[in-house]
Structures are given as structure tokens and as C-alpha cells.
Structure 1
Amino acid sequence: MRALLDEQVPVELGALMRQANWRHDVHTVADMDWKGLKNGALLREMRAAGFGALVTIDRRIEYQQNIPRSGIALVVLHSFRARIAELAPLAPDVAAALDVIQLGEIIHPQAPTVDEPMQRRG
């Protein structure tokens, strides 16, 4: 799956995701020169560029955008802070989510401090 890391997601997470599963093509918003795009415009640009999933910490995006009709899958990371130290343990979960997620679906990997399994919606 071709995935995009949203602006707030540390770029180091992409390298950790690649280590967990080399099949995924992971880029950042900065790589694509899309910094500052609003969510709707970002989803349109992603779809046009062939991306299948957005990895974000923005918990509001699924309520602000019609993800099921967007043509993009969404992986919403849940942790106390958006620091690589807290997000790094999620890298294998994110890579696993990209293995199974379908366009229009939303998956919520939880930081290890939360004892809940990955939630899947869509």
C-alpha cells in the first residue's frame, strides 16, 4: 500500500514502518511538498497521486471528511503525545493495518499504554 504520513506524524515513523513491513511505500507530506494543505485538498491530492492511506494523529479528520467516500483509507494513531518515542511502538501495528485496510476504512491503533486492541471501522 502506498501510504502518506500526515504533517504532525514524526518522519522517523516512516522508517520504522518500512522496517516492520518493507512492502509499503511510505512518504511524508513534506516529501510530496503538500505541507499546509487542508484535509480535503490533501485527500484529493493523495487520491490523484495514487496513495491509498493517510497515517495521522488528527482524530477529527474522520468526522470532518467523508472517509468512506474519499477513496482513501485512514490510520488514526492514538498516543498521549505525537513524539517518536511514544509512536515508535505503533509502527508494527500501523504496518499490519496497511496490510488489511480497505479504501474508505478507518483503523485506530492504540499506544501500548492502552490495553485495547486495534479498532477497525468502515
Structure 2
Amino acid sequence: MRRTWLWFMKNTFNRVTIRVARSGRGPFSLVRHVGRKSGKTYETPIMLARVPEGFIAELTYGEDVNWYRNIVAAGRCEVFVDGQWHQVSAIEPYPSDAGRDAFGYPAKLVLQLLQKHEFRLLRTA
């Protein structure tokens, strides 16, 4: 069921959100990563919050998604936020409370209601 859901999201919703993210408007950003096995470059839409050290990502579907596994394996990636590309030099766990706070209201409230607790700091160079 989970695999079917992720396939559906990749082939429908993600295509729309990639266009929105490329426009530089709206809540979506892009993470550009290289496949662990294929070596192919991919772009995946995600939601990020800006912090002084870089950006906070909430792992909506957990750690077992390809974009996250790819950036951990590579130790780096690029993110497209507000119309600009940023180099990410490290990926680090981030405290749950601070992660929710980084997103601000109303996203923070939604993250609390959904009991989201997996956040990562995408440290920029």
C-alpha cells in the first residue's frame, strides 16, 4: 500500500509541485540529488523552512524515501528555494520541537497535530 501511494504521489502530485517550486512562489522547494545506484540526477519537491544554518526538512514519509537516502549517501545535495539554488554540505538530525518551530504558524500547528517528529537540518555551505 505504501509503495503504491509513493508511486501515485511521484507520478501525479509531484509533477504539479515541481512546476510550482520552479516558479519560486508557494510553499514548495526542490531538492536535487543523485541516485545511489543509477547516478541519475533527480529533482523532488519538498517543503523547507529557512534557519540560520541552512534549511529544515520534515521527513513526511520517513527516512526510507529515495530522495533522503540519496542525499545521505552522497552527503550533499542542492535545494532550490525562493528562485535560487543553494548547496547543502551536510545533513544532520534536528530536534523535533525546534523543527516544528522553524516552520512557523500555521504549519507548526499542523505538524504538531500530525505528530511529526523527524526533521533534518540541510546545512548550507
TM-score of the alignment, normalized to the shorter chain, above 0.5: no
The structure having more radius of gyration, on CA atoms, is 2
TM-score bracket for the superposition, by shorter chain length: 0.3 to 0.5
More strand by share: 2
